[in-house]
Amino acid sequence: MTGRLVTIGSKGGPALRKGGALPTSSLLQLGSALAVIDCGLGVTRGLVEAGVDLRHLPQVFITHLHSDHVLELGALLHTAWTTGLRRPVTVFGPPGLAEYWAGFMASMAFDTALRVADEGRAPLEDLVTLQVIEPGTVLNDGNLCVSALRVDHPPVTDCFALRFEGAGRRVTFSADTAPFEPLAGFARGSDVLVHEAMLPDAVERIVAATGMGDALRAHLHASHTPAAEAARLAGRAAVRRLVLHHLIPADDPDVTEEDWRAAVAGIWDGDITIARDGLQLIF
Ligand SMILES: [Zn+2]
Ligand SMILES: [Zn+2]
């Protein structure tokens, strides 16, 4: 196996509904290199189901600090620790990551102090290294090269598309973004482009279901990408496969995989995968 992608949680947005998908997280394997991308609710369980031994939790990348991408980061690290993590884990993320982590550790101070004293564990903070993502090269350890591109996700300014290269494969994650032309150059020649996607026709039903009205409608249109635009960008980037991920909506019973395929028909005729929770792609 050279490349493996598991879309652990496939929905955009933090809300959870009966029968619906989980917020965003993914596992990527390129040769022997593993990476977790985003930590929405459900990531810990999803990684275990994907075969990850939490005692050997791989490096983690957080594209931005919206809760559907970061809510379970602390719980993932803590659960890995109580499962027997001994090797330090690096978490790459935007500015503000240190404040998130400090806040999580403060909230769990009773438990973590108790486990160090009572169970003889090494302090959790000694096992976690934080590294702030800036545009350009994020990591190059010989096994894996990771690069970041700031994308267009107002009002969030620190939101980064990530490109992973290793074992002769290239995979690009759009992160959350409005249609953003520089992403085409950044993703050029990728084996897989994992792009967020929205079905504009279904947005009105989301607005009605949440009761959040104009503010939510305006955010969705200003900060996210219609599936058709993701397809156009995939064509300009000449990628081998397009994966539609971070689906908006992902829990509308009236929206099926066929609706997503119909949204890109005539624009993208290459290989395509519509993400769902736990879906595994080998490439
Ligand atoms: Zn999101
Ligand atoms: Zn976001």
Domain boundaries, the chain: 3-282
Return the pLDDT at 209.
79
CA neighbours closer than 13 Å in the CB half-sphere of residue 185: 6
Return the pLDDT at 211.
78
Distance (Å) from CA 268 to ligand 2 centroid:
25
Distance (Å) from CA 156 to ligand 2 centroid:
7
Distance (Å) from CA 173 to ligand 2 centroid:
13
Distance (Å) from CA 64 to ligand 1 centroid:
8
Q: Which ligand is nearest to the CA of 196?
A: 1
Distance (Å) from CA 176 to ligand 2 centroid:
5
Return the pLDDT at 93.
98
Distance (Å) from CA 123 to ligand 1 centroid:
31
Helix ranges (H only) for 31-134 are: 43-49, 67-70, 73-83, 97-107, 109-119
User: Backbone dihedral region of 161: left (phi > 0), alpha (psi from -120 to 50 degrees) or beta?
Assistant: beta
Q: Which ligand is nearest to the CA of 198?
A: 1
Distance (Å) from CA 220 to ligand 2 centroid:
10
**Full strand arrangement of the beta sheet holding 136-140:** 136-140, 145-150, 160-166, 169-173, 192-198, 241-248, 271-274
Distance (Å) from CA 45 to ligand 1 centroid:
19
Distance (Å) from CA 78 to ligand 2 centroid:
24
Listed as ranges, residues in the chain with pLDDT below 50 are none
Distance (Å) from CA 70 to ligand 1 centroid:
10
Distance (Å) from CA 251 to ligand 1 centroid:
15
Return the pLDDT at 213.
79
Which residues have C-beta within 8 Å of that of residue 129, sequence separation ≥ 6?
88, 89, 90, 91
pTM equals 0.97
Distance (Å) from CA 223 to ligand 2 centroid:
8
The DSSP-derived string for 182-241 is HHHHHTTT-SEEEEEEE-HHHHHHHHHHHT-HHHHHHHHHHHS-BHHHHHHHHHHHT-SE
The identity of residue 29, as a single letter, is Q
Which residues have C-beta within 8 Å of that of residue 158, sequence separation ≥ 6?
64, 65, 94, 95, 96, 133, 150
Return the pLDDT at 216.
87
The DSSP-derived string for 243-279 is EEEEEESSS-TT--HHHHHHHHTTT--SEEEE--TTE
Distance (Å) from CA 67 to ligand 2 centroid:
8
Return the pLDDT at 195.
98
Asked if 43 and 72 count as a contact pair (C-beta separation under 8 A), the reply is yes
The identity of residue 113, as a single letter, is A
Q: Which ligand is nearest to the CA of 15?
A: 1
Q: How far apart are CA 17 and CA 11, in angstroms?
A: 11
Q: Which ligand is nearest to the CA of 177?
A: 2
Which CATH code of 3.30.565.10, 3.60.15.10, 3.30.499.10, 3.40.50.300 fits the domain covering 3-282? Answer: 3.60.15.10
Q: Which ligand is nearest to the CA of 154?
A: 2
Bridge partners (DSSP) of residue 131 are 92
Return the pLDDT at 215.
87
Return the pLDDT at 98.
98
Strands 3-9 and 279-282: antiparallel
The identity of residue 21, as a single letter, is A
The identity of residue 76, as a single letter, is L
Q: What is the pLDDT of residues 29-75, one digit of tens each?
A: 999 999 999 999 999 999 999 999 999 999 999 999 999 999 999 99
Distance (Å) from CA 161 to ligand 2 centroid:
12
3-state secondary structure of 15: coil
Distance (Å) from CA 87 to ligand 2 centroid:
30
Return the pLDDT at 203.
86
Distance (Å) from CA 139 to ligand 2 centroid:
23
